[in-house]
Amino acid sequence: MGVLLVCSWLLASLFVVHTSLPVSFAQVNCLDEPSNAACMSYMYPDANSTADMNSLCMMMDFMSGCTIRNICSENHDYHSDPYCEAFSLLADACASDMPDMGGCGSYVALCSPADSVVHQCDMYPPIPGLPTTSQANEAIKSLCVQHYMAGCEKCVDNGGYMDCDLLSVYSEICLGMPDMADCAQWNVMCEAIPTWSELCPSTVVDQPPIMKMYFHTGIVDYILFQSWVPRTDGQYAAAVIGIILLGIIFEGLQSFRALMEFKWKYPSPQSVSEGEIEPLNGNQLTLSFGGPFQLWLDLQRAVIYVAEVFIGYCLMLIAMTFNVGLFLAVLAGLFVGHFTFGRFRGFTAKRACH
């Protein structure tokens, strides 16, 4: 009788211990029951995520998520970025872009249900604000109709999705015109990945402007220095104003040098009639040039001349950006400057008839 009691107690204890153990992943299919508490720590294998992503990009390699995947694989600096994790890349394609595609089946099963408890969905989310393929496609069409900018030529409109790397072209266009309404989604994305210089004006490494050796529009161009790259309409307007002022200063400096040359040659009114004017047929007309070396005077002349040449070359280099707005700013500055100071540049000797 005692033996039976002991055996019964042992069996009861084993039953209690067994029922108190958590249900294992082997007993629960989290793809079918993502709301099951046992699936909280479930991790969809990276190999599966990669295979799903490969399948998606084989069918539609122009998807936004595929562009992100390519950037992650090509840039070693991003290998530790959480947005380059295999499941996050799958989320870029499947969370809101192409959830109905076959390769998104597992992701949608795990993360789409409102009652899903799978932490992996929150740990490795898609890039916030990442434009969907459709959003990037429609934005490019709209932007290129409004302003045909660098990048528009890369896309061929076949009536549906344009034939190009949509996210890359969208970003290239918005780098040139970031304040356009169609670039709002791009700006949201770049707030999340500001250091991704392939797509955004990085706060760490600025996206280098594309050098175009032909007249073009847009606002993103180097202006004399690597750090002087306007990226907003306000910055571009300030650059234009600065260039106009530089042109005015250049013209003013030329006139100032001409006046100083006259002053140095004729320091007083009397000097004009003391042998500096050579008679010609009884009329004082021609001026004699040259004179003795004078250190202080010649030093001033050289300093003013070098300053004039320096500003002139700066204006030339700005014009050589081939940016239409900057080129017109150079011309405007020279026009206003010459209009204001040009009359001070020349002088003529008055006739003194005998």
For the stretch 299-349, pLDDT in tens is 888 998 999 999 999 999 999 999 999 999 999 999 999 999 888 876 555
**pLDDT band at residue 226, thresholds of 50, 70 and 90?**
confident
Amino acid 145: pLDDT: 83
For the stretch 285-305, pLDDT in tens is 455 555 667 788 888 889 989
Co-location of 241 and 316 in the same domain: yes
| Model confidence at 4: pLDDT above 60 | no
Mean of the pLDDT values across residues 52-76?
93
Q: Give the integer Cα–Cα distance in Å for 120 and 88.
A: 9
Contact 181, 172 (CB under 8 A): no
Q: Has residue 139 been placed in a domain? A: yes
Q: Has residue 12 been placed in a domain? A: no
Amino acid 174: pLDDT: 87
Percent of the chain past pLDDT 70, that is, above it, reads 79
Co-location of 338 and 257 in the same domain: yes
Amino acid 159: pLDDT: 82
Co-location of 27 and 104 in the same domain: yes
Could you tell me the sign of the dihedral formed by the alpha carbons of 172, 177, 181, 186, in that order?
Answer: positive
Co-location of 85 and 155 in the same domain: no
For the stretch 244-276, pLDDT in tens is 999 999 999 998 988 888 777 766 655 555 445
Amino acid 141: pLDDT: 92
Q: Which domain holds residue 283?
A: 233-344
Q: Give the integer Cα–Cα distance in Å for 221 and 98.
A: 36
Q: Give the integer Cα–Cα distance in Å for 322 and 233.
A: 18
Considering only 13-22, 78-87, 122-131, 261-270, which range has the smallest mean pLDDT?
A: 13-22
Comparing 277 with 166, the larger pLDDT belongs to 166
Co-location of 239 and 296 in the same domain: yes
Q: Has residue 119 been placed in a domain? A: yes
Co-location of 109 and 170 in the same domain: no
**What are the structure tokens assigned to 256, written together?**
């100032």
**pLDDT band at residue 39, thresholds of 50, 70 and 90?**
very high
Query: At which of 159, 192, 225 does a domain end?
Result: 192
Q: Has residue 8 been placed in a domain? A: no
Q: Has residue 66 been placed in a domain? A: yes
Amino acid 110: pLDDT: 96
279 membership: H or E segment, kind and range: strand 277-280
Co-location of 179 and 100 in the same domain: no
Amino acid 228: pLDDT: 86
Co-location of 114 and 32 in the same domain: yes
312 membership: H or E segment, kind and range: helix 295-319
Average pLDDT taken over every residue of the chain: 82
Co-location of 169 and 256 in the same domain: no
Q: Give the integer Cα–Cα distance in Å for 45 and 26.
A: 15
**pLDDT band at residue 354, thresholds of 50, 70 and 90?**
very low
Co-location of 241 and 332 in the same domain: yes
Mean of the pLDDT values across residues 123-146?
93
Comparing 108 with 26, the larger pLDDT belongs to 108
| Model confidence at 48: pLDDT above 50 | yes
Co-location of 85 and 168 in the same domain: no
Q: Has residue 327 been placed in a domain? A: yes
Considering only 69-73, 237-241, 269-273, which range has the smallest mean pLDDT?
A: 269-273
Co-location of 119 and 143 in the same domain: no
Q: Give the integer Cα–Cα distance in Å for 216 and 173.
A: 13
Q: Count structural domains, the chain.
A: 3
Q: Has residue 164 been placed in a domain? A: yes
